[in-house]
Amino acid sequence: MTETVLSIDVGTTGCKVIAFDFKGAEVAKAYNEYPTYIDEHGKSELDAEIVWEKVSESVRKVCGADIRVSAVSVSSLGEAAVLLDSEGNVLGNSILYNDSRGAEEMGEIADPKMREAISNTTGQPVSHLHTLWKLLWIRKHQPEVYAKIKKITFFADFIVFRLCKAHMTDYSLAARSMMFDIHDLCWSREITALTGLDPDVLPKAVLAGTLAGEVSEEMARELHIDQGAKVVIGGHDQPCGTLGAACFAPGQIVNAGGTIECITTVVEELGIARRLMENGYSVEPHVVQGKYVIMGVSVTGGSLLKWFRRTFLPDDKAFFKPYAGPYDYMNAHIDRKPGKLLLLPYFSGTGTPDYDSGACGAVYGLRLSTTKEEIYKACMEGLCFELKKNLEIMRQCGMEFHTACTIGGGSYSRCWSQIKADIWGIPVHTIEKNEAVATGLAALSAAALGWYGSPEQAAGQFVCFKDCYQADEVYRKAQDQKFRSFLELSDHVKQIGR
């Protein structure tokens, strides 16, 4: 029977559960999707009970294999809270980061000095994405729910609470709430006072990799997990993915492609971190002790390709044979040459550094001869240009970049990885085990069990690089020229929007 650690990665639209052995090899895995509830008024919610149900199904499937689970660790999306009453029952759906509720409450904090103080303390640009503003909205519009709040958890913490009843979070997830002091690594009483809630409703904040306890006997029976399995605190999915891509030092970028498109990099010098915060960037503690991560985000991200698929491709699996699916089909029908179109990927507003929820997407260069392949390539390029804009601002703040590692669903596309290298002007790597978030969790568990001396040592053993895409100088220069046009178009469209 193989001894394993179990990684549970809770995302916005689905959960992955993967068992890893001592060498970091995947032994068993399962995936389940769940619905997000969206309407035309900007509402976006997730039902925590359904998430738990799907996580449980996945865990049972994985633990049905011939394995022994020694530890479990959990990561999740960031800015979404699960509210619990005195009995540990869930108080309604969780409001997601891309839900427009909370924007009005955020706007009521008009004092620029107070806004600056909040940002400097939390490391987060003041935006409606964060838990703080969602809580203020609930206090105003759902007072009956607000009055029952006895515990606030984030999705990873909610799973941990169900597993072992520990009310704990890590520093990286706590930081996504906009209530956490990233300098002193504790909840900010000044900021939590804005909610009117007792700070004790918030989970205890600890370093990722801390032991929270053992899986309870009840949960061990229900989920088929071995009794005595340790529960190890994980963290926010992005820094966990950074660890799982063996990114420990400045100069490396991890590009995670999913519901959002994100670039994450490590910073050790707080002077650079402060300049980035002043320019609208998120700074949060890493899951690796003593370091921070910086994130540049396109909020639309991978949702843009889903929009393309829904809008331009038939809902017929037979159409795409012999290809693996619609994206594989499209990737086979485009090349790396700079496309004819310019696309602004603001279909859900902008991400960093301005977080403009009112911004709209645009496509320039359409002709009667325009093909769906050209639009598809423009989607890819537009997301790359948006992240290049972020990289350029980070460089102006004193950062340097020499390599990128792409993870997530987008990394399966060879043509997109090559386009990223040509646009960003640096080598882009992929890794053998593409589940970097789960690998990062496995590294945390392996270190907590004493299998390795540190999470970094474990990740260094687990991660194997696969392909490397180099920038072509001709294409790089052409894409640089196109990037300048992208910035100009972006400015014009924003002016029209205003």
4-18 confidence digits (pLDDT tens): 999 999 999 899 999
Size of the chain in residues: 498
Tokens of 420: 């990223």
CA 157 to CA 154: how far, in whole Å? 5
**Other C-beta atoms lying within 10 Å of the C-beta of residue 105:** 20
226-240 confidence digits (pLDDT tens): 999 999 999 999 999
89-126 confidence digits (pLDDT tens): 999 999 998 888 998 999 888 788 888 899 999 998 88
Percent of the chain with pLDDT over 90: 75
Q: Can you name the residues that pair with 29 across neighbouring β-strands?
A: 18
Q: Mean pLDDT score of the chain, rounded to an integer?
A: 93
Q: What is the pLDDT of residue 330?
A: 95
Burial of 291 (0-12, 13-18, 19+ CB in 10 A): middle
CA 126 to CA 158: how far, in whole Å? 25
SS3 content of the chain, % helix, strand, coil (to 5): 40, 25, 35
384-438 confidence digits (pLDDT tens): 999 999 999 999 999 999 999 998 888 889 999 999 999 999 999 999 877 899 9
Residue 258 has pLDDT above 80, yes or no: no
Contact 322, 293 (CB under 8 A): no
Stretch 293-314: mean pLDDT, rounded? Answer: 92
Tokens of 372: 């769906």
CA 386 to CA 257: how far, in whole Å? 13
Tokens of 133: 């503003």
pLDDT bracket for residue 259 (50, 70, 90)? confident
In 123-213, which residue ranges form alpha helices assigned H by DSSP? 131-141, 143-146, 155-164, 171-175, 189-192
CA 35 to CA 244: how far, in whole Å? 27
Stretch 444-465: mean pLDDT, rounded? Answer: 96
State the DSSP code for 261.
E
Q: Can you name the residues that pair with 465 across neighbouring β-strands?
A: 431
32-51 confidence digits (pLDDT tens): 999 999 887 778 999 999 99
Q: Which whole-number Å values give the CA distances from 95 to 50, 81, 137, in the listed order?
A: 14, 7, 10
CA 331 to CA 285: how far, in whole Å? 36
Q: Which of 171-175, 343-347, 370-374, 409-413 has the lowest mean pLDDT?
A: 409-413
- pLDDT greater at residue 172 or residue 411: 172
Three-state DSSP state, 429:
strand
Residue 56 has pLDDT above 80, yes or no: yes
pLDDT bracket for residue 372 (50, 70, 90)? very high
Amino acid at 27: V
Q: What is the pLDDT of residue 41?
A: 75
Residue 494 has pLDDT above 90, yes or no: no
Domain boundaries along the sequence of the chain: 2-244
Q: How many Å separate Cα 445 from the centre of its chain? A: 20
- pLDDT greater at residue 195 or residue 434: 195
Helix (H) / strand (E) element for 61: namely helix 48-63
Q: Which whole-number Å values give the CA distances from 122 to 175, 210, 346, 487, in the listed order?
A: 6, 22, 26, 30
Place of tokens 């960031």: 78
2-244: CATH class: alpha beta
Q: Can you name the residues that pair with 74 across neighbouring β-strands?
A: 8, 233
Residue 498 has pLDDT above 80, yes or no: no
Q: Please give the model's pTM, rounded to 2 decimal places.
A: 0.88
Three-state DSSP state, 464:
coil
CA 374 to CA 366: how far, in whole Å? 9
Please name which of 412, 344, 417 lies closest in space to residue 383, comparing C-alpha atoms. 344
Q: What is the pLDDT of residue 42?
A: 76
